[in-house]
């Protein structure tokens, strides 16, 4: 079913222990969402035997998230890109900056009126692109775009897998799952653990 809307764009800061396993902070609103383009890159391998393809493996490698937003505030820009806010509350970007990964959550409205909710567990953002134009005969909005690389998380879930995305369709999941979606980054739970792959 087609989507007709996008809103509630949030991010959660990540802290890591010595093993690199993530703990997520309380989600905060990033900005008002205009667009979200998500593309995925797969690692692929094909084993040929007896003159044909015997086994094919396709695994998540990384992804790219490009967000069109109305504005990015100083606090969010600092969290996402590593820029510094000085004592006068001026955002200072330096060549040595490099933000830490964050989790990113948002929702998309479906044409039936229900929402699909997302969490991307580990996104490393670059410097936001800025488009500026002088005012002419008509009004043109200039809005920033920020692009990040999506990675799988280091921390394994209860099924010993390393998720990179969680999706929930309103009506298919419990009401509590939707109610709590932006209170904390969703943690996978299983009634029966998936089989481990060797």
Express each pLDDT in 166-195 by its tens digit.
999 999 999 999 999 999 999 998 876 556
Return all residues near 121 (Cβ < 8 A) that are at least 6 apart. 22, 103, 152, 153, 163, 164, 165, 166, 185
Rounded to two decimals, the pTM is: 0.78
In a domain, 197, yes or no: no
In a domain, 34, yes or no: yes
Closest to 81 in 3D by CA, of 66, 99, 64, 61: 99
Number of domains in the chain: 1
Q: Which two tokens mark 144? A: 């920033």
In a domain, 146, yes or no: yes
How far lies 29's CA from each of 24, 32, 58, 59, 60, in Å?
Answer: 14, 8, 34, 31, 27
Domain of 67 in residue numbering reads as 3-45+52-178
How far lies 52's CA from each of 43, 45, 72, 76, 182, in Å?
Answer: 20, 14, 52, 51, 48
Confidence (pLDDT) at 134: 63
Q: Which two tokens mark 116? A: 């699909």
In a domain, 193, yes or no: no
**Dihedral through CA 47, CA 41, CA 103, CA 38, nearest 10?**
-140
Express each pLDDT in 6-26 by its tens digit.
888 999 999 999 888 899 999
pLDDT per position in the chain (198 positions), as tens? 566 678 889 999 999 998 888 999 999 988 888 888 888 887 777 787 887 777 877 777 888 888 888 878 888 888 888 888 889 988 887 777 777 899 999 998 888 888 999 999 999 988 776 665 666 666 555 667 888 899 999 998 888 889 999 999 999 999 999 999 999 999 998 876 556 555
Closest to 6 in 3D by CA, of 104, 107, 147: 107
- Residue 104 near residue 88 (C-beta atoms within 8 A): no
Note the residue count of the chain.
198
**Dihedral through CA 95, CA 16, CA 184, CA 2, nearest 10?**
60
In a domain, 86, yes or no: yes
In a domain, 183, yes or no: no
In a domain, 196, yes or no: no
The 8-class DSSP code of residue 36 comes to E
Can you spell out the DSSP letters for 130-172? -------SS------EEEEEE---SS--TTS---SEEEEETTT
């Amino acid at each position: 079913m087609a989507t007709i809307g996008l809103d509630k764009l949030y991010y959660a800061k990540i802290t890591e222990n010595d093993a690199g396993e993530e703990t997520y902070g309380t989600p905060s609103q990033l900005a008002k969402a205009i667009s979200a383009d998500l593309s995925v890159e797969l690692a692929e391998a094909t084993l040929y035997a007896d003159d044909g393809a015997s086994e094919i493996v396709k695994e998540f490698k990384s992804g790219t998230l490009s967000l069109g937003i109305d504005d990015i505030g100083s606090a969010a820009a600092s969290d996402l890109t590593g820029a510094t806010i000085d004592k006068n509350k001026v955002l200072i970007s330096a060549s040595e900056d490099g933000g830490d990964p964050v989790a990113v959550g948002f929702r998309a409205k479906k044409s039936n009126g229900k929402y699909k909710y997302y969490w991307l567990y580990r996104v490393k953002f670059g410097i936001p692109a800025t488009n500026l134009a002088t005012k002419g005969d008509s009004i043109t909005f200039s809005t920033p775009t920020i692009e990040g690389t999506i990675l799988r998380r280091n921390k394994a879930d209860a099924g010993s897998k390393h998720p990179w995305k969680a999706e929930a369709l309103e009506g298919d999941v419990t009401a509590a799952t939707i109610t709590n979606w932006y209170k904390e980054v969703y943690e996978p739970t299983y009634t029966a653990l998936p089989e481990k792959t060797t």
